Structure 1
Amino acid sequence: MTILATEGLTKRFPRVTALDRLTVTAGSGVTGLVGANGAGKSTLIKILLGLLPPTEGSATVLGLNPATQALDIRRAVGYMPEHDCLPPDVSATEFTVHMAQMSGLPRSAARERAADTLRHVGLYEERYRPIGGYSTGMRQRVKLAQALVHDPQMVFLDEPTNGLDPQGRDEMLALIRRIGAEFGISVVVTSHLLGELERVCDHVIVIDGGRLLRSSSIGEFTQATQSITVEVEEGQQPLADRLTAAGQQVTVHGRLLTVAVASPGTFDIVRDAVCDLDLCLVRLEQGRHRIEDVFREEMANV
């Protein structure tokens, strides 16, 4: 199922072109929209929601035209904006109920949905406190809750991990994965942190300067390489030295070693070296491309 599509989508401002003839499609599941700050991610979302008119081209969201059916789109779609937009003097419950009513839910249904949604995002115990006293992580969860409260078919999450510490990012990413995997809601999530998208997305769209660089499944981005990754608790350098002496091409990355697979015998050589040095093997797996590597390759070819 195609959840969004653009054809020659262009948005020009007086001094900059935010989107430049962008043609792309995305299906159900969790789609990552990645690009540096200023790449056009937020502009694209605003056009898809009908909040900003395009200069040229066309777009559809769930088969609806943002130029003429913006209200229908916003009833069926949730939106978590990047910027801080929460009123400090109301509680998470009051705000989420209000947003549910704005999406067309009766007040009784809105209150029930708000309680369920705040529980899902981990704010049930804190739901009656004024938002002004919330941490950054809690405020991000409120923004996520209001995007989900009306049970949308899909959600746009614009930089949902902004300002979060590592634990907060992990928790937010887990929530995003649950939305797609357990709730059956399609997700479009933007980020400039490529490693995050690798962890939660089924598909990634890479844009730069408003132009499409690549649109591929995560599997195509992170396809297997002709190398293996080796992790040991300690003794990385002695292991690297032993493998190099055995004629293997080795690169050290902290606790990890990347060993080029010259032949099937490479696996036996690594095993024997680990045993001879009496090291504790944590991981031995097929190497895979990372999105960062592919992105750098795409940029080099532009």
Structure 2
Amino acid sequence: MVTLATTTVLFFLIRLTGDPSVMIAGESATPAQLAQVRAAYGFDRSLIEQYLVYAGKVLHFDMGVSLQDGQSAIHKVLQAYPATLMLAAAAITANIVISVPIGAWLGQSRGAAARVVRIALNVLQGMPGFVSALLLVNIFAVGLGWLPSVGYGRPETLILPVVSVVSFMAPKLIRVIEANTSAALRSNFVRTARSIGASNRQILWRHVLPNALLGAIALIGAEIAAMLTGLVIIETIFAWPGIGWLLVQSTLNLDFPVVQAIALVMVVSVFLANAATEALQTLADPRLRTKGRPE
């Protein structure tokens, strides 16, 4: 139902952006040539007729062909998707590796160093991702020349995009883990563990951190869904050939079939990410398995 509603709304909204016949035929095309292009692509029909044709094709998993090069729209999207998956996987891994230890440390620290880190997190959390990306490009690519600002396929091309993504996603996850760690340290099971002689390290790794991560799974799942649906600005800044970059190019070119195919892939990706997150929460927290069951 969500997929149907999203694709339907997008179908009508995208047709308000302009006439793709001009993009196909060229600005110097005569009225007769424009009419010929509209007839060839079905743009001379009413919107309702166009939508019914589109819906019928979608039911047969046919998203049409690109208006720019004639390739299958869904094929172009699936060609670009691995680049987004690579960037998302690297960013998710880096985000967890960085956020979990910092959040756990902040949750049990009250010193000056912890205050400095919290201030830095506040600054990063309030800074848009594209600002971090542009700063990193100016410093490490333009100024120092250490890293490439564009490119795809080499390990070093991942560094700046991943750091840009992590810079605005990690502060949220760190804050959640910090709050959960602090709450867990004040809980009864921690006091019980201390009373039977458990060390601080054992309490942190066996009791506190697993409980802190339970509350962070939902946020991690939301961040995964956001990354799988395309980091449009980041991919555009770094010319990363994922679905976010493809979405921008297709929108500028009024390539309706490709934009619609991207929207469909994004909706399915969000659904799968949310389903996986819910399954992981149920697996990690046995209490959720019995929720809603009759006594």
User: Considering the TM-score relative to the shorter chain, is it more than 0.5?
Assistant: no
Greater fraction strand: 1
Greater fraction helix: 2
TM bucket (normalised to shorter chain) is: under 0.3
Structure with higher Rg: it is 2
TM-score scaled to structure 1, two decimals?
A: 0.26
Higher relative contact order (CA 8 A, sep 6+): 2
